[in-house]
Amino acid sequence: MITLPETDLVVHELCLGSNIFGSNADEAQSHAVLDAYRSHGGNFIDTADMYNQWVPGHIGGESESVIGSWLEKINNRSEMVIATKVSKMDRRPGLSAANIIAACEDSLNRLRTDYIDLYYSHDDDLKTPMVETLGAYAQLIAQGKVRYIAASNFSPERLRLAMKTSEENNLPSYVAVQDLYNLVDRTTYESGMAQAVADIGISNIPFYGIARGFLSGKYRPGVTDVDSMRAAGAREYATDKGYAVIAAMDHISAAHDNAPLSAIALAWLRAQSTVSVPIASARTVDQLKEIIQIVELSAEEIAELSALSA
């Protein structure tokens, strides 16, 4: 367990992503994964109000609703750390004060809880003054409906401006970012956001920790049929460099009692100075077993993977 920087949130070293709950994994399957995660000591769940509005026949909110029914079932809300997000739902777009307040109430109802541990601005909103957005969060925090706030998909410049706005107006500040970052997709985060996060003193809780499944090792040269809704996205990493990383991970796995490649990929992320807890998702209990194991890589192994993926 670790404590997220700038908070008192004590969380498992794996944050369980839930963007497939309520769609590719139905409620029963999702509950089974959540039960298994909890049985391993897991307590940190990431969702968003807009999950799974991209699926035909879905309108968003399905993932939160599945998590809410599970929280009601376990009847131990304080044991879990729940993160959700606002601004990208079709019916609740943007970061205006009115939208944040309304979206928070909607999320609380779907999650069947009276507070959110970590509430993200899911995307930047250039049309709404930051002081208005942060003021809405201040109201929710004062009411006990939100504990901490974070930012996702911001530019480094806008993140720095948000922190300055918080300081100058005595408003809550973002305690983390959630940005795309993994062993084979490093450029965007390392081009500016990593330095901003380090300068501010917060951390990244990165999504796509195993590169849409590519770093699980399922994708190999010549393999064309992978049972995954993310297969098309994962194949963008199917390059000579990507396969070289997989080959190195195979070697490292063998040195760690054949640890799952997914666990190796997540271990590399944890070793990065601005990362606190990576996010990965699982559709089945078997998939959860591949991501839940905590592996400690040597400095040499970290350096090898970093050099190959640079």
pLDDT at residue 224 tops 70: no
The pLDDT of residue 288 is 97
Lowest pLDDT segment from 190-199, 216-225, 257-266: 216-225
Q: What is the pLDDT of residues 133-153, one digit of tens each?
A: 999 999 999 999 999 999 999
The pLDDT of residue 262 is 98
Q: What is the pLDDT of residues 51-105, one digit of tens each?
A: 999 999 999 999 999 999 999 999 999 999 999 999 999 999 999 999 999 999 9
SS3 71: helix
How many angstroms separate the CA atoms of 117 and 81, rounded? 6
Q: How distant is the alpha carbon of residue 12 from its chain centre?
A: 13
The pLDDT of residue 226 is 57
Q: At what angle do helices 240-255 and 299-309 cross, to 10 degrees?
A: 170
Residue 178's beta-bridge partner residues? Answer: 152
> How much is the mean pLDDT over the chain?
95
Strands (E), the chain: 2-3, 10-11, 15-17, 44-46, 81-86, 88-89, 92-93, 116-121, 146-152, 174-178, 203-204, 279-281
pLDDT (average), residues 12-22: 97
Q: Which long-range contacts (CB under 8 A, 24 or more apart) does 249-254 make?
A: 249/215, 249/217, 249/305, 250/217, 252/297, 252/301, 252/304, 252/305
The pLDDT of residue 234 is 75
Domains and CATH numbers, the chain: 2-178 (3.20.20.100)
Closest to 147 in 3D by CA, of 177, 109, 117: 117
How many angstroms separate the CA atoms of 152 and 234, rounded? 21
